[in-house]
Chains A and B, each alone.
Chain A
């Protein structure tokens, strides 16, 4: 075979091979990325990030993992315990119903607020919304994957 033709053949195959080498390298990187995400602790449905607390406990920026039903209050039996004088012992409940989050006030003294508005019945909360319980301001965020 003519060496020139042979060289062209080799170069053509080399180009295609390198194209697939790139895809292989990317696939490996993507897979590693997914595995690292999977190694992180069990899946959560959402998280509640502390925006501000007058007492500094829990510290702003810290986050609570949320279960499908999460109760919030001052009593130690709540899923999330908030030590704040304006929080009732059983203050509010966050529930995940199929596709969206809801917050419900459990008859607290000082009320529960979503984006600054007081709620008096079960109301939906979107990710990014701010929930105020007592003097503690919390924000609902999507779960990390």
Chain B
């Protein structure tokens, strides 16, 4: 066994220091705003303004980040040094936001922020473990159908053990004390499956084609299992009424098809299928119809269906260019924030109000960094599977961020999906941690020799022996 030699990661440390400074400044700003408001209520007693909002929570989070850095240094792998600080900054912003919201929005371990902190620390632990331990991707590429089947099985479990939400969506799987959203894990499994399948059949998909008049279609037999897999996932998701996940899966599927084949005709075909599907769904399902109608004009029902969207738009408007400042936005209505599901579906609106246009552009910039790094890792990968996997993993995060940010801004119909690394919720954080952990592991140069070529069949062995 080779000795593991620690390797300094200067760039990562430097970026983490900036992250720590930014989060301390944010926490100071949040704390000062809260204390000033309290002081104004008690008319004008002088207070100590300069103090962190919640020093222990912030310190625990920053501590976890630096421990993760130390673990990566000790592991001594030549891996990416930018992803961990980026995730750290997003997670830190999430923590500041949760500290600032009413703590009784979600139960759990003594309040919203504390529960989120526990999940964030777990998320960093998962990410670091994967980044340190995954040195071989054979277990991912070999069992692609198993991964896909496990994902679909997970979804089917929701029918049996699922809990119905108010909106009619069955998203949460509850087995005894454990509950989670299986679609979050499914997205990781789907990307692994697509990477495995596309890398194996890429040249066939590219070179051979079924002609249908002037349109070049992909060779049908090779595309069939993939389309079937996708249809199953999509069908289950539609029955589950989780439109956000359906949109995410479909977009990632199309993007990966384009990334691996470079054929725009496939994408055009997919978009056509999407348009047809969208019209059919709009006609058939009441909940789809409602979402689209609210998107087109929320003011027809401002206190009912359009309420959330209108409140989100007001929040962005109040935020303006640089925002109201952390802790100063969101005047509560009757002790509750005006937007329901603020911590899961609308964190982008809350951040838009408190940090303004400048702030949310910065946050979108952080997602941009994730995708830029993911594509860089894909370009440097040694074979197709790793390249498509890295591209797919980073696409999942960024497409998800786009879908929910666009929904919050009324750019596209709103779908209930989480903002990666910022929304409250364990399944989402853990699934995204798995994604970034795998990305970091994949970024190592000389990851490990590629797996041995699969042995040829008996007939081929006989032929080759005869020839040699």
A110 touches B468 (CB 8 A): yes
A142 touches B383 (CB 8 A): yes
Q: Which of B358, B381, B382 gathers the greatest number of chain A CB atoms within 10 Å?
A: B382
Contact with A along B433-466 (1 / 0, CB 8 A): 0000000000000000010011110001101100
B32 touches A7 (CB 8 A): yes
Interface residues of A in 108-143 (CB under 8 A from B): 110-111, 113, 115-118, 124-130, 139, 141-142
Q: Is B28 an interface residue (CB 8 A)?
A: yes
A38 CB contacts on chain B under 8 angstroms: none
Contact with B along A10-27 (1 / 0, CB 8 A): 011111101111110110
| Chain A, Cβ-Cβ closest to B369 | A26
- Asked if A141 meets B453 with Cβ closer than 8 Å, knowing A4-B32, A12-B29, A25-B18, the reply is no
Q: Is A29 an interface residue (CB 8 A)?
A: yes
A16 touches B82 (CB 8 A): no
Contact of A124 among B86, B203, B380 (CB under 8 A): B203
A34 CB contacts on chain B under 8 angstroms: 376
B206 CB contacts on chain A under 8 angstroms: 99-100
Contacts A11-B28, A15-B355 known; list 10 others, CB within 8 Å. Answer: A15-B25, A21-B18, A22-B18, A22-B89, A30-B376, A100-B207, A110-B467, A126-B200, A126-B202, A145-B379
Q: Is A144 an interface residue (CB 8 A)?
A: yes
Interface residues on A, range: 35 or more
Looking at the assembled complex, report how far the CB atom of B387 sits from the nearest CB atom of chain A, in whole angstroms.
Answer: 7
Complex: A5 Cα to B33 Cα, angstroms: 9
A8 touches B33 (CB 8 A): yes
Instruction: Give chain A's interface residues, CB within 8 Å of chain B.
Output: 4-5, 7-9, 11-16, 18-23, 25-26, 29-30, 33-34, 37, 86, 99-101, 110-111, 113, 115-118, 124-130, 139, 141-142, 144-145
Q: Which of B14, B206, B322, B362 gathers the greatest number of chain A CB atoms within 10 Å?
A: B362
Contact of A116 among B25, B49, B384, B453 (CB under 8 A): B453
Contact of B387 among A12, A26, A33, A142 (CB under 8 A): A142
Interface residues of B in 384-401 (CB under 8 A from A): 384-385, 387
B32 CB contacts on chain A under 8 angstroms: 4, 7-8, 11
A-B contact count (CB 8 A): 146
- Asked if A12 meets B464 with Cβ closer than 8 Å, knowing A19-B22, A23-B369, the reply is no
Contact with A along B214-241 (1 / 0, CB 8 A): 0000000000000000000000000000
Contact of B384 among A8, A29, A142 (CB under 8 A): A142
Complex: A23 Cα to B468 Cα, angstroms: 59
A130 touches B453 (CB 8 A): yes
Complex: A26 Cα to B362 Cα, angstroms: 12
A128 touches B384 (CB 8 A): yes
B33 CB contacts on chain A under 8 angstroms: 8
Interface residues on B, range: 35 or more
A110 CB contacts on chain B under 8 angstroms: 467-468
Looking at the assembled complex, report how far the CB atom of A68 sits from the nearest CB atom of chain B, in whole angstroms.
Answer: 16
Q: Is B64 an interface residue (CB 8 A)?
A: no
Complex: A116 Cα to B28 Cα, angstroms: 65
B450 touches A139 (CB 8 A): yes
Complex: A139 Cα to B449 Cα, angstroms: 11
B19 touches A22 (CB 8 A): yes
Q: Is B15 an interface residue (CB 8 A)?
A: yes
| Chain A, Cβ-Cβ closest to B89 | A22
Looking at the assembled complex, report how far the CB atom of A112 sits from the nearest CB atom of chain B, in whole angstroms.
Answer: 10
B326 touches A12 (CB 8 A): yes
- Asked if A16 meets B381 with Cβ closer than 8 Å, knowing A117-B460, A129-B453, the reply is no
A-B contacts, 10 listed (Cβ < 8 Å):
A7-B50, A15-B29, A18-B18, A29-B82, A30-B369, A30-B376, A100-B202, A113-B467, A116-B456, A117-B463
B461 touches A25 (CB 8 A): no
B322 touches A12 (CB 8 A): yes
- Asked if A7 meets B379 with Cβ closer than 8 Å, knowing A22-B19, A30-B372, A116-B460, the reply is no
Interface residues of B in 380-431 (CB under 8 A from A): 380-385, 387
B14 touches A25 (CB 8 A): yes
Complex: A117 Cα to B39 Cα, angstroms: 80
Complex: A19 Cα to B359 Cα, angstroms: 8
Complex: A5 Cα to B262 Cα, angstroms: 55
B380 touches A23 (CB 8 A): no
Interface residues of B in 309-328 (CB under 8 A from A): 322-323, 325-326
Q: Is B365 an interface residue (CB 8 A)?
A: yes
Q: Which of A9, A11, A110, A144 gathers the greatest number of chain B CB atoms within 10 Å?
A: A11
Contact of A145 among B89, B261, B380 (CB under 8 A): B380
Q: Is B142 an interface residue (CB 8 A)?
A: no
- Asked if A118 meets B25 with Cβ closer than 8 Å, knowing A12-B323, A128-B384, the reply is no
